[in-house]
C-alpha cells in the first residue's frame, strides 16, 4: 500500500546546482555539525523517497530500520544524491527535490518510479568517514607550509623553503567540497605559495620550474605584478628574451612605474648582447 503526504512547497527549496539550473534543490529540516561531506567519503544515511508532486512513497530505509551505506561520487546512487550529499553535514536532515536528469531519467525505475519522474527524498546523514582530509585541514596545512617556507627563505635555506611551498601547494590540489567562504582563502594561498616557490627557484636557478610556478599563480591572478616580474626574470635567465619582454610589459600595463620591472626590462637588451658576444667568441675559437 502506498503512502502519500501533503503537497510540498517548492518555494522553500534552494537551488544547489553549480550551474544554477534548478534541477537539484534542497530544503534543510535539521542542521548538522562539522565539515561538509567530502567527495569519495563513506556515508551512512537514512532516507525516504517519494514521487513529486503526488507525495507517493516508493522506498524508505526507515521501514527496514537499516541505514544505507555507500561511497559518495562513485555512481552508486543517483546524481542528485551524490551532488546533494556534498552540501550536507553529519546529523543534517534535508529534503532533496530532484529533477529526472539528476534522478532516474526518462526511463525511470519501474515498477516503483515511472518514466521522467521528479523525486523528493528526505535524507538524514547518520555518519561520514572522509577518505581524504576535510578542506579546512588542507587550508590550515597550506597556511602552515607558507609560514615555514617564508622562515626558511628568510634564512637563505631555499631548498627547504621550496619543499615547504610544494607541500602547501599539494594540499590544495583537491578541494571539491570547499564552501564559498573557503574558496577565496584557497585561491590566495595558491597564489602566494606558487609565487613564493618561484622566488625560491630563481635563487636555485631551477628556471623552468619557476616559470611553471608562475603559470599556476597567474591562473589565480593574471595581472599579479610580482608574479609577472618573477616570470620575466625566469625567462631572461633561460635566454628567452622575447618571452621575458612580453610578460614584463604585461606587468607595466598594471604598474607603469614599478622600478624593479623597469630595471629588468631595461637589462634585457644588455643580456641579449652579452649572450650574443659569448656565442661569437665560442664560434671564433672553434674555427681558428
pLDDT digits (tens, 9 = 90+) for 79-114: 999 999 999 999 999 999 999 999 999 999 999 999
DSSP 117: -
CATH number of 10-129: 3.10.50.40
Contacts of 145 (CB under 8 A, 6+ apart): 164, 165, 167, 168, 171, 193
pLDDT digits (tens, 9 = 90+) for 108-123: 999 999 999 999 999 9
Catalytic residue among 47, 158, 165, 235: 47
Backbone φ/ψ region at 36: left (φ over 0), alpha (ψ -120 to 50), beta: beta
pLDDT at residue 4 in the model: 45
Nearest C-alpha neighbor of 60 from the set 127, 121, 125 = 121
Q: Which CATH number fits domain 135-286: 1.25.40.10, 1.10.3470.10, 3.20.170.30, 2.40.50.140?
A: 1.25.40.10
Nearest C-alpha neighbor of 218 from the set 210, 206, 229, 227 = 227
Is residue 215 flagged as an active site residue? no
Alpha-carbon gap, residue 271 to 274, rounded angstroms: 5
Is residue 59 flagged as an active site residue? yes
**Cis preceding-peptide flag for 53 (omega within 30 of 0):** yes
Mean pLDDT for the stretch of residues 205-233: 98
- Given a contact cutoff of 8 angstroms between Cβ atoms, the answer to whether 206 and 188 are in contact is no
Output the nine-digit C-alpha cell for 31: 542542521
Catalytic residue among 102, 121, 153, 165: 121
Beta-sheet pairing, 57-60 with 14-15: unpaired
Is residue 40 flagged as an active site residue? no
Is residue 121 flagged as an active site residue? yes
Of all residues in the chain, the percent with pLDDT exceeding 90 is 80
Output the nine-digit C-alpha cell for 60: 524508505
pLDDT digits (tens, 9 = 90+) for 255-272: 999 999 999 999 998 877
Catalytic residue among 13, 16, 98, 104: 104
Catalytic residue among 78, 98, 169, 186: 78
Is residue 47 flagged as an active site residue? yes
Is residue 78 flagged as an active site residue? yes
Of all residues in the chain, the percent with pLDDT exceeding 70 is 92
Residue ranges per structural domain of the chain: 10-129, 135-286
Instruction: Answer whether residue 45 shows pLDDT above 70.
Output: yes
Amino acid at each position: 500500500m502506498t503512502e502519500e503526504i501533503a503537497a510540498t512547497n517548492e518555494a522553500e527549496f534552494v537551488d544547489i546546482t553549480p550551474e544554477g539550473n534548478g534541477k537539484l534543490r534542497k530544503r534543510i529540516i535539521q542542521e548538522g555539525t562539522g565539515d561538509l561531506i567530502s567527495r569519495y567519503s563513506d556515508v551512512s544515511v537514512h532516507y525516504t523517497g517519494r514521487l513529486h508532486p503526488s507525495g507517493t512513497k516508493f522506498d524508505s530505509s526507515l521501514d527496514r530500520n537499516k541505514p544505507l551505506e555507500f561511497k559518495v561520487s562513485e555512481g552508486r546512487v543517483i546524481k542528485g544524491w551524490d551532488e546533494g550529499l556534498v552540501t550536507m553535514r553529519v546529523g543534517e536532515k534535508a529534503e532533496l527535490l530532484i529533477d529526472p536528469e539528476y534522478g532516474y531519467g526518462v526511463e525511470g525505475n519501474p515498477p516503483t518510479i515511472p518514466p521522467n519522474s521528479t523525486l523528493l527524498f528526505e535524507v538524514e546523514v547518520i555518519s561520514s568517514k572522509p577518505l581524504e582530509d576535510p578542506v579546512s585541514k588542507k587550508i590550515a596545512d597550506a597556511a602552515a607550509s607558507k609560514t615555514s617556507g617564508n622562515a626558511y627563505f628568510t634564512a637563505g635555506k631555499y631548498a627547504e623553503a621550496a619543499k615547504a611551498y610544494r607541500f602547501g601547494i599539494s594540499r590544495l590540489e583537491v578541494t571539491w567540497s570547499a564552501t564559498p567562504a573557503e574558496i577565496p582563502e584557497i585561491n590566495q594561498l595558491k597564489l602566494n605559495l606558487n609565487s613564493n616557490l618561484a622566488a625560491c627557484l630563481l635563487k636555485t636557478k631551477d628556471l623552468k620550474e619557476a616559470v611553471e610556478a608562475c603559470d599556476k599563480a597567474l591562473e589565480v591572478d593574471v595581472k599579479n605584478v610580482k608574479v609577472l616580474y618573477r616570470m620575466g626574470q625566469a625567462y631572461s635567465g633561460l635566454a628567452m628574451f622575447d618571452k621575458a619582454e612580453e610578460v614584463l610589459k604585461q606587468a607595466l600595463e598594471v604598474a607603469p612605474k614599478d622600478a624593479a620591472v623597469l630595471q629588468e626590462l631595461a637589462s634585457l637588451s644588455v643580456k641579449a648582447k652579452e649572450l650574443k658576444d659569448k656565442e661569437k667568441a665560442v664560434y671564433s675559437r672553434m674555427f681558428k
